[in-house]
Amino acid sequence: MTRPHVFLPGDAGPPLLLLHGTGGDEHDLLPLREHLATGSPVLSPRGTVLENGMPRFFHRRAEGVFDEDDLRSRVDELADFVGSAAAEHGVAPGSWTAVGFSNGANIASAMLFRRPEVLAGAVLLAAMVPFRDGPGDVDLTGRRVAVSNGRHDPMATAAHTATLVAQLRGCGAFLG
């Protein structure tokens, strides 16, 4: 539990895993708790990768081009951290709803595809397709996912959104 993070205890709703965007930190998304699930437990870790001095959750090769090997490794690292935090704070494994923005949304969708046992669902804001070759053989049946991207976002384009939504649905996630 040496990774910088904030944990807020709670007992009135689904536990939230808040994942900031590039340049953010573990405090950025905390106000969302009161709008999404007042009284829910919250875990908000900081990304451990620095790009031009800004925290991120994984490396990029270029703007909009993910280092997928690093992404896989960072998903496993973050998933293990979430599991340890759940055990330490008495949160049921696999009950987290990830709420991610941009880089945080991308690692959340990658976690759904690579380590689905960690998350019950996700809210993905400004999300891109995490893996060029698709999600692989993963079952997301029963997981609720919301994807919200801007119509004119130059990074999380309409094409990215359509592909990501199709991949999530193809794996059995309920999108709404």
CATH number for position 46: 3.40.50.1820
Query: Which pLDDT belongs to residue 176?
Result: 77
For residue 74, the SS3 value is helix
Q: What is the pLDDT of residues 102-116, one digit of tens each?
A: 999 999 999 999 999
For residue 143, the SS3 value is coil
Residue 47 CA, distance from chain mean position? 11
For residue 70, the SS3 value is helix
> Shortest CA distance to 14 belongs to which of 39, 40, 46?
40
Q: Taking the model in full, what pTM does it have?
A: 0.97
pLDDT band at 12 (very low <50, low <70, confident <90, very high): confident
- CA–CA distance, 10 with 46 (Å, rounded to integer): 20
- Whether the per-residue pLDDT at 1 is higher than 80: the answer is no
Show the tokens assigned to 25: 């930190």
Cβ neighbors of 129 (< 8 A, separation 6 or more) are 109, 160, 163, 164, 167
pLDDT band at 11 (very low <50, low <70, confident <90, very high): confident
Asked whether 74 and 104 are in contact (CB, 8 A), the reply is no
Mean pLDDT of 69-98: 97
Tell me the residue range of the domain where 99 lies.
5-175
CA angle 3, 19, 150 (to 5 degrees): 155
Total number of domains in the chain: 1
Q: What is the pLDDT of residues 16-26, one digit of tens each?
A: 999 999 999 99
Q: What is the bridge-based pairing of β-strands 42-45 and 54-56? A: unpaired
